[in-house]
Amino acid sequence: MHFLRNTSLILLFLIIGKITTAQKLSVNAPSYVEKNSVFSVRYVFKDTKNLGKPSFSIQSNSYFEVLNTMSSYSSSYSISIINGKINKVQEQDYIWTVYMQANKEGTYELPEASVKLPNGTIIQADPYSITVGKPNNQLPKPQNNQNIANNNVPKSSQISELSMLLSLNKKSVYIGEPIIAQLILYSLYEIDIIDYKPGNYNGFWTQDMINQKNIQAVRKIINGKNYLVATMDKKLIFPQKTGELKITPYKLEVQLYDFWGFPSGTKTIYSNQASVIVKPLPEKNKPSDFSGAVGTFSISAKLDKDTANLDQPVKLVLKISGTGNFGLFDDPDVNLPTTFEAIQNTSKDNLSPSIDGLTGSKTYTFLFVPRAPGNYTIQPITFSYFNPQTKKYYTIETKTLNIYIKNAPTDTSSYKNITTTPIQELAKDITYIYDKPFKLHKKNLYCYKRKYFILSYVIILLITAIYIFWRREKIKSAKDVRKQKFLLADKITKKHLKRAYALLKQNKIQEFYQAIDSALSDYVSNKLDIPKSELTLENITQKMLQFDIDTSIAEKYTEIIKKIQTARFAPEIAQLDPKEAFDQAKNIIAEIEKNFKA
């Protein structure tokens, strides 16, 4: 009996001890930290009796400042068998991760922490001491490529333990004037980004200044606290309309981690909204050719040659340099002489973003072909822009360009294969006397009385009449140049195409394109009666329409000739297969020919 009583008492004490242990608020924390550093302390309360969710309380003391508290919980089950009876116990772990900052060197106890159960019971955490040492002043400094904003640190009141701040370097600008928009993240915790949504830049043209796939953070002391600081976004923005323009807040969802690197919860934060006042450009003294350029610019132009042959391609290179809103103004107008046919216009940018806008240059290349000889002048090309610093308009221009076009040298390629044979003397002696049999006629028989003579005379008269008729028609036809050229068109074109095919097989691509170009140009010149000095795509199209050639064929011809001339004069930008070019040239000539025969 006494044995059973003693055994019951022992079991009772064990159960009470277990409950007491389960209701302990345990502390996990580092034993050493540096002054001004941010560290985390983990408090755990184990509940095996389903007492309900407790409330946690902690206050800062003069040595440690409590910055933030994150809560989480987990559950588990334990099964025990006593005297054949199965006992199932559910255990709840309530966890609080507290971020603190050490303010003073020395060894001090952490602030008092406790939990209050739903039944009113308060459980205190055991005292825990931490040694605070000297701060490490050799913190990593931001490098230039990290794009950390040092000259635009927001006010301390704006920075919290986890926050994003959006700032603009200007609050009032002219339309088209560049602005720097910058988003900076401040965090006292180690984090991972779960979701990121940028703000809406409605009304702005934007240019990224950093690579958002390679964001780096650095440690920085702000208001005595050790923050992780990172530039999340940095853009060069150009307002495209007047009035108050607003950039909506950015959204960021992050995963927080405790001191040991374990997840301790998620949090969603938003940046502030930024706005700017956009003023219209002044109307006073606005140049007539102004097309929206804002900044500071210079302009230059040059020809790749001062003298060229007829039908020889010439390049005009125009370059606009400076800093401003490149890409947001119209291309300058270039007025070429009417006898210059524009073939291809291209442009190339060499720009990089800066605090004043896009800096660099934009180069335009105009390719044209002179169709008539003579001395020509290309008038200065003007360009107007608005300088927001001086608040004035400026008009700049290139110098006058001169070029001399000579007659093209005669193309003697068709005579290269002609050879001559010298006259040979076959014999020097006197020929032999004719010794073959022959007939003798009576002396009194006149030739005109012979029937053969009369027949031959009639034949000669008939042939003469036919010849005279043919000759008159030929002279008449020769006077009709238009008809002559029309009839010669097919013959000349076949010659060019045959030569082009041979050059294609020999892989002489540039000479091939020249032959194809000549085939198409000579064909329409002869077939449509267009002088070569007036052989422009516009004139060709108009002539085809006059001859009732279908519009689609005229458009197809224009497209093919442009591709071939681009491949001939600017092969570096051409995208045309030579075999495809040959087939297209043959097909378009055949289609035009069908229209004439119809």
Q: What tokens does 177 get?
A: 């004037």
320 DSSP β-pair partners: 299, 362
E-assigned strand segments in 536-596: none
Buried b (16+ CB within 10 A) or exposed e, 145-155: ebbbbeeebbe
pLDDT, mean of residues 229-234: 92
177 DSSP β-pair partners: none
- How do strand 307-309 and strand 401-406 relate by DSSP bridges? parallel
CB within 8 A of 389, min separation 6: which ones?
296
Separation of alpha carbons 183 and 168, rounded Å: 9
Instruction: Please determine, for residue 147, whether its predicted confidence score (pLDDT) is greater than 70.
Output: no
Closest listed residue to residue 133, CA positions, set 35, 277, 47, 208: 35
Q: What tokens does 146 get?
A: 């990290």
Most confident of 338-342, 415-419, 430-434, 448-452: 338-342
- How do strand 295-303 and strand 32-34 relate by DSSP bridges? unpaired
pLDDT per residue as tens digits for the range 66-77:
877 777 766 665
pLDDT in the model for residue 436: 61
Instruction: Please determine, for residue 2, whether its predicted confidence score (pLDDT) is greater than 50.
Output: no
DSSP string of 166-235, one letter each residue: EEES-SEEETT--EEEEEEEEESSEEEEEEEEPPP-TTEEEEE-S-TTS--EEEEEETTEEEEEEEEEEE
Closest listed residue to residue 292, CA positions, set 383, 375, 217, 227: 383
Structure confidence at residue 152 as a pLDDT band (50, 70, 90) = very low
Q: What tokens does 196 get?
A: 């990121």
| Cβ count within 10 A of residue 463 | 10
pLDDT in the model for residue 485: 60
CB within 8 A of 534, min separation 6: which ones?
371
pLDDT, mean of residues 203-209: 90
pLDDT, mean of residues 530-552: 79
53 DSSP β-pair partners: none
Q: What tokens does 558 get?
A: 């224009």
- Cα 568 from chain centre: 27
Structure confidence at residue 420 as a pLDDT band (50, 70, 90) = very low
Given the structure tokens 């025990």, which residue do they identify?
80
Q: What tokens does 387 get?
A: 């300088």
| Cβ count within 10 A of residue 14 | 10
Q: What share of the chain is helix, strand, coil (3-state, %, to 5)?
A: 25, 40, 35
3-state secondary structure of 4: helix
Max Cα distance, the chain (Å): 189
pLDDT in the model for residue 266: 86
User: Degrees (nearest 5) of the Cα angle 226, 230, 236?
Assistant: 145
Q: Alpha-carbon dihedral of residues 216, 221, 225, 231, nearest 10 degrees?
A: -30
pLDDT in the model for residue 511: 86
pLDDT, mean of residues 348-372: 90
pLDDT in the model for residue 446: 55
Instruction: Please determine, for residue 486, whether its predicted confidence score (pLDDT) is greater than 80.
Output: no
Separation of alpha carbons 477 and 468, rounded Å: 14
CB 295 within 8 A of CB 306: no
Given the structure tokens 């008729």, which residue do they identify?
469
Separation of alpha carbons 344 and 359, rounded Å: 27
Higher per-residue pLDDT: 261 or 49: 49
Most confident of 204-213, 240-249, 352-361, 481-490: 240-249
| Cβ count within 10 A of residue 480 | 11
DSSP string of 477-503, one letter each residue: HHH-HHHHHHHHHHHHHHHHHHHHHHH
The single-letter code of the amino acid at 74 is: S
pLDDT per residue as tens digits for the range 244-281:
999 999 999 988 886 666 777 888 999 999 999 999 99
Instruction: Please determine, for residue 89, whether its predicted confidence score (pLDDT) is greater than 80.
Output: no
Instruction: Please determine, for residue 325, whether its predicted confidence score (pLDDT) is greater than 80.
Output: yes
**What are the two backbone dihedrals, phi and then psi, of residue 464, each rounded to the nearest 5 degrees?**
-65, -40
pLDDT in the model for residue 449: 57
Closest listed residue to residue 229, CA positions, set 162, 144, 135: 162
Instruction: Please determine, for residue 138, whether its predicted confidence score (pLDDT) is greater than 50.
Output: no
Q: What tokens does 505 get?
A: 């097989």
**What are the two backbone dihedrals, phi and then psi, of residue 161, each rounded to the nearest 5 degrees?**
-65, -25
Given the structure tokens 């007939």, which residue do they identify?
439
Q: How far is CA 416 from CA 17, 420, 421, 507, in A?
A: 117, 12, 15, 20
